[in-house]
Amino acid sequence: MAELPPFQTLIDEHATEVMAVLRGAVGREGAEDAFQETFLAALRAYPSLREPHNLRGWLVTIAHRKAIDHHRARGRAPVPVESVREEAVFDPDPDDGQIWQAVAALPLKQRAAVTLRFAGDLPHEEIAAALGCSPEAARRSLHEGLKRLRKEIA
C-alpha cells in the first residue's frame, strides 16, 4: 500500500483544478464555499483513505457532491416576493383560552408534553428528547395530561 502525501501537498497540487470544477458546477458565487466544504470533507476522510493512487479523482468526486449539495440547498431557499398579503388574525375558537389555562394548571411534565404535542406539533420521540425521558414516559405524560384536561373541561 502506497503512503499518502501530506494533506497540504494534496491541496497545492489539486486546488486549481477543484476550483475550476466547482466554478463550472455552481458558478463563481458559490464556488468558494463549495471549495472550502470540499477540502474540509476531504480532510476528515483523508486519514482513512486506503488507495492514494487517484487522489485527483477522489477530490473531484467530493467537489461534485458538494456542488450537488449546493444546488439542493438553493432549491430549498425562500423565494423573494414583492409584497406579502396581510390578513387579520382571529381566534376561531373562543374557548381556546380556557383550554390553555387548564393546560397551565397541569403538573410540569404533563403540561410540557401537552404543549409540545399540540402547540409544537412534535412527535413522541422529540417530546421525549425535550423532556429528557423515554418515548414511553413522554406518551404516558401526554396521556395523563389529556385525561386530566378532559375531566376539567367536560
What distance in Å separates the CA atoms of residue 123 and residue 33, rounded to the nearest whole number? 35
Task: Check residue 97 and give its pLDDT.
Answer: 67
Residue 80 lies in a domain: no
Q: Is residue 90 part of a domain?
A: no
15 found inside a domain: yes
Q: At 104, which CATH number?
A: 1.10.10.10
Weakest-pLDDT range from 15-29, 42-56, 73-87? 73-87
Alpha carbon dihedral 125, 127, 133, 139, in 10-degree steps, equals -80
**CA atoms of 99 and 108, how far apart (whole Å):** 16
CA 149 to CA 25: how far, in whole Å? 57
- Same domain, yes or no: 45 and 103: no
Q: pTM of this prediction?
A: 0.50
Q: What is the pLDDT of residue 87?
A: 65
74/21: higher pLDDT: 21
Looking at the structure, tell me whether residues 64 and 31 fall in a common domain. Answer: yes
Number of domains in the chain: 2
Average pLDDT over residues 138-144: 94
CA distance 131 to 129: 5
Residues 129, 69, single domain; the answer is no
Residues 106, 61: one domain? Answer: no
Assigned C-alpha cell, 108? 410540569
Residue type (1 letter), 140: R
Domain CATH number, residue 20? 1.10.1740.10
Which of 45, 75, 105 finishes a domain?
75
Specify the amino acid at residue 50: R
Assess whether pLDDT exceeds 70 at residue 142: yes
Interval 77-128: pLDDT, tens: 777 888 777 765 545 454 566 787 888 889 989 999 998 888 888 889 989 9
Q: What is the domain extent for residue 147?
A: 97-153
Q: Are residues 11 and 44 in the same domain?
A: yes
pLDDT value of position 92: 47
The answer to whether residue 51 is domain-embedded is yes
Region of poorest pLDDT, from 24-33, 46-55, 79-88 = 79-88
For residues 71 and 12, membership in a common domain is answered with: yes
Specify if 13 maps to a domain: yes
